[in-house]
Structure 1
Amino acid sequence: MYDYKSFDLIIDARSPREFDEDHIPGAVNLPVVDNAEFAEVGTLHRTNPLAAYQLGARYSLENISRHIETHISRYGSKSRILVYCFRGGKRSKVWQDVLETIGYRVERVKGGWKAYRRWVNEQLAVAPSGFRYIVVSGPTGCGKTRLLAALQDNGAQVLDLEALATHRGSIIGAVPGKPQPTQKLFDSLLLARLRSFDPERPVWVESESKKIGQVQLPDALLNAMRAGMTVAVDAPMALRVQLLREDYAHFEDDPGSMIERLRYLRPLIGGEEFDRWESLATEKRVPELFERLMRHHYDPTYRRSILRNYPDIDASPKIMLDGLSLAELQPVAQELIARMEQPATQN
C-alpha cells in the first residue's frame, strides 16, 4: 500500500458515516455526498438508476465546489493528493478528475477503502512481531499510564493502547464525553502507530487484556507482548487512591454511577462486599471506596490475569514508585531507559 505520510492531503470521498466507522489516519473527510444524500441516491438507484446518477452528479459537483473553496484552495499546485472512496470507483474518480483538471498531482487508492481494510488486517497479523516490547505491568492506580507518558517525554517509543482505544481499560474506564473508536478505526490507528516505530529500538507498552473497553487487540500483538521483557511497577496504596481520584474525578460527585457500572460484579465478589461498596458510595466516602475496590477486586483480579499472561512476572525488575506526578516520574523514566534500552542497543 501507500506511504501515506508522503502525501500532502488524503481525501476520503465517502459519506461522514462511513468515515466515522474507519478511515486512513490523517485523511480529511470531503464527501462527494453527505449521509442523507448518499441514502437518497441509493434509494432512487433501486428504481431509476439514470435519475440516481443524475442526482448524484448534481450533489457531487455542488459539494466538491464547496470543498475546493473551503479546503483545497489552501494547497499549492505541487501538493501530492491521495483520494479514495469505498471501492475506488465513482466517488474518488470524480474527485480525481476535478483535481487533475485544476492541475494537482493526484493518485487514487486502487480498490478504495475495502482494499485498505484488507491490507490493515493483513499487516496486523504480522507487523506486531517485528518489534521487541518492554511491558510495564502493575496493579490498578500504580501510575503505569503516566509512566508511559514520562518515557515518551524522554524519547522512548511508546505504544499507549488505552489512548488509542479512548478507554482506561477497566470496567469503569470509559472516558466521559469521548466515545471509543470503532474496532476498524482502532485497528487503523494501531497500525499507523506501529508503522511509526523504529524496529531497531524497543517499544514500551502497558500490559493489557484482550479487550480495552469494546475494542480488541490483535492476537499477534498480544503474543508479541507476552514474549517481551516485563517491568513490575507498584506504588503505595495512598498514592494509588489519590491517582484514581484524579483520573476518575467525575465519580467524586456521583460515586453511585460507578457502583451501577460495577453491579454485574455482585455475584463474583459476594453480596456482603458489594453492599459495603454501595454504602461507601451513598456516604460519598470515595477514597475508602477506591481502596476497597482495589483490595477486594482489582488487585486479586489483576494478579490472576498477569500470572496467566506473564507467568515469569515475579522475576521481572521491580520498581516501587514514591510519586506519581509526571514531574516525579521523569527521573524514573530516564533510569528505566538507561537500564533497559542501552544493553539492547549495544548488542
Structure 2
Amino acid sequence: MIETVSNIEPETLARFDAIIDVRSPAEFAEDRLPGAINLPVLDDAERAEVGTVYKQESRFKARRIGAAYVARNVARHLENALADRPKGFHPLIYCWRGGMRSNAMATILAQVGWRCGVLEGGYKTWRRAVTAGLRNSEEALPVILLDGQTGTAKSDVLRAATREGVQTLDLEDFAHHRGSVFGGYINNPQPEQKYFETRIFDRLRDFDLSKPILVEAESNRIGRCEIPKRLWTAMQNAPRITLTAPLAARAAYLLTAYPDITGDKSAAFAAIDRLKPFHSRETLADWRALAEAADWRGLAADLMRAHYDPAYERSRQRGRCGAALAEYNLGELDSATFERVAKEIASALLSAQR
C-alpha cells in the first residue's frame, strides 16, 4: 500500500518508522529532512549519466537505463539496509519533488508488503517550508542573547541552560564552528547552508514562541554558514545577558575549548595566517613563535588582548544592542560555575514570563 503524505508537520513525520531519502548522496549531503537516511536509487554518477542521456539522446533510453540502475540499487538496499525491517515497517519516502525516484522505491517496497508513504512534492516541499519560516516570515522571534567576550564559556553556559529547561538555539553546534578564525573543527566540516537552516527550522518547530529563546551572540556568519534573515533580525535587537570573566581564566578555558588546535601546530599556524589583514607582520610572527613553543595559554591571552577583545568592543559599538537584562561575572570557568549561572538565568527568564 502506498499513501501520499501532503504535510511535514512533526506529528505527521513521527508516524513513520523511517524517513528514506532516495536522492543521490550529493543531494543528500546538501540538505535533507531531519532524521532521514540516504538509500539512493541512483548514485551521483548514475544520476548524471541518466540526465545526460535524457538531454542528448532520448527520454525513453534515459528511463530504461535509469530503471535498470534503480532496480539494482533497491535490491541492494533490501539485502542490506532494509534486511532486518519487520513486516509492520512503515517508511516515508521522498526524492527531489515526489516523482519517479520515490515512487519507484515505494512501489517495490509496497510489493514486499510494507505500507509506504510518499511525500507529495518531495524535498522541495520541505525546502519551501524552511525558506518560508526563516527567510520570508516577518513574525518576531522572542530571542535573548547570551553575550560576552571570547573565552567566557558562552557555549557551555548555553548547554547548561538547556539542561535547566531553557529554550536554546546552539548555532555553533548547528554550524560545526566556534565562531572565530580558530573555530573550525579539523575532523568535522561545516554543513551546507541549506542543512544549517534545516537544523534551525526544525529546532524552532519544537519551541513555544510565547517563551524566550536563548541564543549565543554571533556575527551574521559562523564560519561560512549565514544566519538566516528572520533569526538575524531578532538577534540584532534582542535583549542581552552578558558573561564576564578575568583574562587569565578565559585564556586557561580556551585551552580546553580548542584541544584540536593546541594539538596541531599546523592548524594554529593556518588560523594565525588568516589574521594577516588585521595585524602587522611582527605581531603575527610573535604569535607564530608562541604556537611553535606550544605556549598556548600565552597565545590565547595575547590574541584576546590584541585582537578579540578590541573586535568585540568595536562590534558592540557598531551594532544595535537591545536592553541589558543581567550580567554574570563567572570568576572560575568550570562546570559547577556553568550550572550555577545557568540555574540563575533559567530562574530569571521564568520570572520575566510572569
TM-score by length of 2: 0.90
CA contact (8 A) 1:127 1:194 kept: no
2:46 aligns with one of 37, 40, 63: 37
Q: How does 1:294-309 map to 2 (within 5 A)?
A: 294-309=304-319
C-alpha displacement at 1:127, in angstroms? 5.9
- The answer for the alignment partner of 1:202 in structure 2 is 212
**1:205 partner amino acid:** V
C-alpha displacement at 1:277, in angstroms? 1.6
CA contact (8 A) 2:142 2:213 kept: yes
1:228 aligns with one of 232, 238, 251: 238
Q: Does 1:2 align with 2:8?
A: yes
CA contact (8 A) 1:148 1:158 kept: yes
CA contact (8 A) 2:93 2:117 kept: yes
The CA deviation string for residues 119-167 of structure 1, in whole angstroms up to 9 with x for no partner, is 2111113568453122100011110000011111222111000000000
Task: After superposing the two structures, state which structure 1 stretch, 72-81 or 171-180, moved more.
Answer: 72-81
1:165 aligns with one of 175, 184, 189: 175
How has the CA–CA distance of structure 1 residues 80 and 327 changed in structure 2, closer, same or farther, with 3 Å as cutoff? farther
**1:19 partner amino acid:** F
CA contact (8 A) 2:237 2:321 kept: no
CA distance in structure 1 between the partners assigned to 2:276 and 2:70 by the alignment: 55
- The answer for the alignment partner of 2:3 in structure 1 is none
How has the CA–CA distance of structure 1 residues 239 and 307 changed in structure 2, closer, same or farther, with 3 Å as cutoff? same
CA RMSD of aligned residues (A): 2.1
**2:278 counterpart SS class:** helix
**1:286 partner amino acid:** W
1:118 aligns with one of 97, 115, 128: 128
Q: Does 1:336 align with 2:345?
A: yes
- The answer for the alignment partner of 2:4 in structure 1 is none
Q: How does 1:164-183 map to 2 (within 5 A)?
A: 164-183=174-193
CA distance in structure 2 between the partners assigned to 1:339 and 1:201 by the alignment: 12
C-alpha displacement at 1:249, in angstroms? 1.9
Task: After superposing the two structures, state which structure 1 stretch, 241-250 or 105-114, moved more.
Answer: 105-114
- The answer for the alignment partner of 2:296 in structure 1 is 286
CA distance in structure 2 between the partners assigned to 1:111 and 1:253 by the alignment: 47
TM-score by length of 1: 0.91
**% identical equivalent positions:** 37
CA distance in structure 1 between the partners assigned to 2:165 and 2:77 by the alignment: 39
**1:191 partner amino acid:** F
- The answer for the alignment partner of 2:269 in structure 1 is 259
How has the CA–CA distance of structure 1 residues 282 and 143 changed in structure 2, closer, same or farther, with 3 Å as cutoff? same
CA distance in structure 2 between the partners assigned to 1:75 and 1:229 by the alignment: 49
C-alpha displacement at 1:326, in angstroms? 2.7
- The answer for the alignment partner of 2:287 in structure 1 is 277
2:92 aligns with one of 69, 79, 82: 82
- The answer for the alignment partner of 1:64 in structure 2 is 74
**1:328 partner amino acid:** T
**2:273 counterpart SS class:** helix
**2:240 counterpart SS class:** strand
Q: Aligned residues, how many?
A: 344
CA distance in structure 1 between the partners assigned to 2:209 and 2:315 by the alignment: 28
CA contact (8 A) 1:82 1:109 kept: yes
Task: After superposing the two structures, state which structure 1 stretch, 218-227 or 289-298, moved more.
Answer: 218-227
- The answer for the alignment partner of 1:106 in structure 2 is 116
Q: Does 1:319 align with 2:325?
A: no
CA distance in structure 1 between the partners assigned to 2:103 and 2:89 by the alignment: 18
CA distance in structure 1 between the partners assigned to 2:250 and 2:280 by the alignment: 24
How has the CA–CA distance of structure 1 residues 128 and 259 changed in structure 2, closer, same or farther, with 3 Å as cutoff? farther
CA distance in structure 2 between the partners assigned to 1:342 and 1:75 by the alignment: 48
- The answer for the alignment partner of 1:133 in structure 2 is 143
CA distance in structure 1 between the partners assigned to 2:262 and 2:292 by the alignment: 11
CA distance in structure 2 between the partners assigned to 1:256 and 1:2 by the alignment: 45
How has the CA–CA distance of structure 1 residues 28 and 336 changed in structure 2, closer, same or farther, with 3 Å as cutoff? same
CA distance in structure 2 between the partners assigned to 1:96 and 1:343 by the alignment: 50
Q: Structure 2, unaligned stretches of length 5 or more?
A: 1-6
